[in-house]
A and B are shown apart, each in its own frame.
Chain A
Amino acid sequence: DQQVKQNSPSLSVQEGRISILNCDYTNSMFDYFLWYKKYPAEGPTFLISISSIKDKNEDGRFTVFLNKSAKHLSLHIVPSQPGDSAVYFCAASGGVDSNYQLIWGAGTKLIIKP
């Protein structure tokens, strides 16, 4: 039972345009969400997070949107740059009730075309 789903295995975007990566979850107890970026031969790198009390969090070119009613979050990257090409993982936590354990999606490979 996949509690966190990233339904697009890959996404190709032109450099300079907006990249939108999507993530859906099924567990309504999740209250904290994170995005990680992973380059080949490296571990995941924390990118941005959002608490369930917010619907938007912004950090430079990266913005995460949370729609609790739809159990959906998205990561927007504007403008997309070649160095953004990586695999992006969405992760969710149920807080203290789940011992802060992270549940991960399968990832979306983002390819930025020059």
Chain B
Amino acid sequence: DAGVTQSPTHLIKTRGQQVTLRCSPKSGHDTVSWYQQALGQGPQFIFQYYEEEERQRGNFPDRFSGHQFPNYSSELNVNALLLGDSALYLCASSLTPGYETQYFGPGTRLLVL
């Protein structure tokens, strides 16, 4: 049973560029959440996708957008990258939107220069 997978594992971009991160949820899960984890901090909720729609959103600007596909996989897009976007981006899946226990992927480490 495959767990949550994310790609790529590492990424280096320059300011102003755009990036797309990908996530495949755990088998049987239909809800995907994205988090940003800065160094020395806990994960910060970006948004959650369910039934191919954004259901919830944290306190992140519109530069952060996402998508969920019919197979429940998801993408996180960040436009006009800033230095402060450098972080570990975590994807988590759960059985339903109302199920607090989430299963995390290994994350994508993004460095913006």
Contact = CB atoms under 8 A, between A and B. Distances in A.
Nearest to B104: A43
Interface residues of A, number: 26
B30 to A, nearest CB: 14
Contacts of A46: 101-103
Contacts of A45: 104
A100 B99 contact: yes
A87 to B, nearest CB: 9
A107 B45 CA distance: 15
Contact of B101 (A9, A49, A104): A49
B40 A43 contact: no
Contact of A4 (B42, B99, B103): B42
A42 interface: yes
Q: Which of A4, A96, A103 gathers the greatest number of chain B CB atoms within 10 Å?
A: A103
8 contacts: A42-B107, A43-B4, A43-B106, A96-B98, A102-B45, A102-B100, A105-B42, A107-B42
Interface of B: 4, 40-45, 48, 55-56, 58, 90-92, 97-107
